Amino acid sequence: MPGPVGAVPALQAVVPSLQAVVLVFAVSALLTACDLLTETRSLTVALPDPPPHWAGRLAVRSFAVGYIDEDGRRAERIVAGDARELEIRVLKGFVVPITARPLVDGTERAGPPRLPPAGGLYPKDAGAGGVVELSWRHGFTADLMLDLADAGLDLEFVNTERLGREIDERAGDDPFRLDRDHIARSLLSGRFRVTDIRARPVREVSLRMGSGGTSSDRWFTESPFSPLHTADGDGNLRISLTHGFHHLFHAAQPVRCDVYLDETEVSILRVQEQTRWADTYRLRRPPPGPASPLYPRALRRP
């Protein structure tokens, strides 16, 4: 039996209205999802105290705080050395490495030393109230993750919690002795194994730290975990160092020695106010293989 006259036209009029409502809800849901994915939040970052053996010798004038900001880009903030906290904005729900590199003064002839950073990972190191406590112990991992993110590695595909735990367990007394380049290359290649967390090669060397030394001359390296090393009465310092570049600071005087060593060579640059001298020792050893590259910047995504 045919329906009432005009029923079909009425239905045809309703259908477009329903389609419009559905479209509005779909667009609204999509926008809400996008807002959730790009939601940002404010983080309070707590800065650490300088290592005790720096007292009276290395005055931290400021910290360079590095992190991934709310736009997903690497950012840096400079804060005063006596600052205890700062606020940053980050993407909520994403892994955010945060570092605080201490900055100290250099001399007219030699630039400031490059010191290792303190660090932490959000949300892994976020405590009560969302405060991220930076520590010297976690500085190695945070600095590594920040550089890898800058090189194009998506940290969402890295088990950063387990990586940090494995580095803590395998680092011994000083995580900054680990082979950072090897770990980075392994992570970027996608073939990382925990056995890739290993220390750089170590050499024991005797360094001539200058004439007029006394048995009370004590030195420490750039690491925040460095012990104090005592030179002999002739100013010779016997010390074990990993391959690469190091700073050695006199514990009581404004004297710094910059040291580079590998399997075949040890080079020293002594810095004291306006004077400096260099000394190079060459060993009778076979040369090492090709130098390992730093982080492959070509892997950066457009």
pLDDT, residue 152, reads 87
| End-to-end Cα distance, the chain | 66
pTM of the full predicted structure? 0.76
pLDDT tens digits, residue range 108-125?
556 788 999 999 999 999
The one-character DSSP state at 228 is P
Query: Domain extents for the chain?
Result: 40-199, 202-282
Residue 241 three-state SS: strand
pLDDT, residue 173, reads 94
Dump strand ranges (E) for 60-192.
62-68, 74-80, 85-91, 96-103, 118-122, 132-133
Cα 96 to Cα 92: distance, rounded to the nearest angstrom? 9
Helix (H) or strand (E) holding 282: strand 275-282
Q: pLDDT band for position 217 (50/70/90)?
A: confident
What the block records as the tokens of 110 is 């030699």
Question: What burial class does residue 45 get, using C-beta atoms within 10 Å of its C-beta: 0-12 exposed, 13-18 middle, 19+ buried?
Answer: buried
Q: Are 235 and 212 in contact (CB under 8 A)?
A: yes
pLDDT, residue 272, reads 61
pLDDT tens digits, residue range 19-72?
544 444 444 444 444 444 568 999 999 999 999 999 888 999 999 999 999 999
What the block records as the tokens of 174 is 């000083």
Which candidate, 215, 277, 221, places its Cα nearest to that of 244?
A: 221
Indicate the average pLDDT of the chain: 80
What the block records as the tokens of 131 is 């405060």
- Which residue has 């707590």 as its token pair? 46
Cα 103 to Cα 236: distance, rounded to the nearest angstrom? 29
Question: What burial class does residue 168 get, using C-beta atoms within 10 Å of its C-beta: 0-12 exposed, 13-18 middle, 19+ buried?
Answer: middle
Percent of the chain's residues with pLDDT above 90: 55
What the block records as the tokens of 91 is 């993407």
pLDDT greater at residue 159 or residue 233: 159
pLDDT, residue 234, reads 82
- Which residue has 């809800």 as its token pair? 25
Q: pLDDT band for position 127 (50/70/90)?
A: confident
Chain centroid offset of residue 53 CA: 22
